[in-house]
Amino acid sequence: MVNNYGTILIVDDNAAVLTALRFCLEGTFERVITTEQPDSVLKTMAQEEIDLVLLDMNFTLGVNSGQEGLFWLRTIRKHHPQVPVVLLTAYADVSLAVRGLKNGAADFIVKPWDNGELVRKLKDVLDQSAELVTLDEMEAGHIRRAIDHCHGNLSKAAEMLGITRQTLYNKMKRL
Task: Find the mean pLDDT for residues 151-173.
Answer: 92
Q: Are 169 and 154 contacting, i.e. CB atoms less than 8 angstroms apart?
A: yes
The pLDDT of 116-141, averaged and rounded, is 82
Q: Please give the share of the chain, as a percent, with pLDDT higher than 70.
A: 91
Distances in Å between the alpha carbon of 2 and those of 27, 31, 105, 124?
A: 8, 12, 27, 16
**Tens of pLDDT, residues 78-99:** 999 989 999 988 766 667 777 8
Mean pLDDT of the chain: 88
Residue pair 31/65 in contact (Cβ under 8 Å)? The answer is no
| Confidence band of 1 (pLDDT split at 50, 70, 90) | very low
What predicted TM-score, i.e. pTM, was given to this entire model?
0.72
Segment 118-145 shows an average pLDDT of: 82
Q: Report the pLDDT averaged over residues 66-71.
A: 88
Q: Is residue 75 scored above 70 in pLDDT? A: yes
Residue 132 has pLDDT above 50, yes or no: yes
Backbone CA torsion sign across 160, 166, 172, 174? negative
Q: Strand 52-56 and strand 7-11: pairing?
A: parallel
